[in-house]
Amino acid sequence: MKNKNINSDVKRPKKKSHPFWSFFWLTFLVVSLGYAWYSFYAPSNEIKWVNISNQELLFNNSNKYSIVFFTGEWCSPCRIMKREVCADQKVEEIVNSKFRAIMIDVGNPETNEIVNQYKTNVTPTTIILDSKGKVIERIVGKIEKNKFLEMLLSI
């Protein structure tokens, strides 16, 4: 006589998970998507950015200082800084009135000369130059709005 397992032919219903886990994973998904959106959303701002690709255009013949912002499309801290600092009305007013604002995309092969000249290995990097190209201030990494305003007003 064959020894047949009686339970092998019986299909058991799947055990439902506790409602807590459904709620947990749905909440986790919503929070993750929200954080991803927050990290990559950068609103437009009223700063008059100049996009340049070669070193000769970096210097101008005015008496204005230049604020050079090294960024990349993939840089999450850059986007957060654009959202929290550059979109501030007071920052926009000061930068547009006192500075020539230059944005350098470190991912653009045409800007390699400028990136190498200023040894910009980290984004975001913010450099303030006088009209002759001398570095007055250099900050590597994300800057909080109050510190950024303090730096702008000290020049």
What CATH number did the domain enclosing 148 receive?
3.40.30.10
Would 124 be classed as within a structural domain? yes
> pLDDT, tens digit, for every residue of 108-121?
888 888 888 888 88
The residue assigned the tokens 């609103």 is 43
Would 141 be classed as within a structural domain? yes
Residue 113 is predicted with a pLDDT of 87
> pLDDT, tens digit, for every residue of 37-64?
766 666 667 788 887 765 556 666 667 8
Would 85 be classed as within a structural domain? yes
Would 70 be classed as within a structural domain? yes
Residue 53 is predicted with a pLDDT of 60
Domain of 75, in residue numbers: 49-154
Number of domains the chain contains: 1
Would 5 be classed as within a structural domain? no
Would 35 be classed as within a structural domain? no
82 CB-near residues (< 8 Å, 6+ apart): 42, 43, 45, 71
Would 92 be classed as within a structural domain? yes
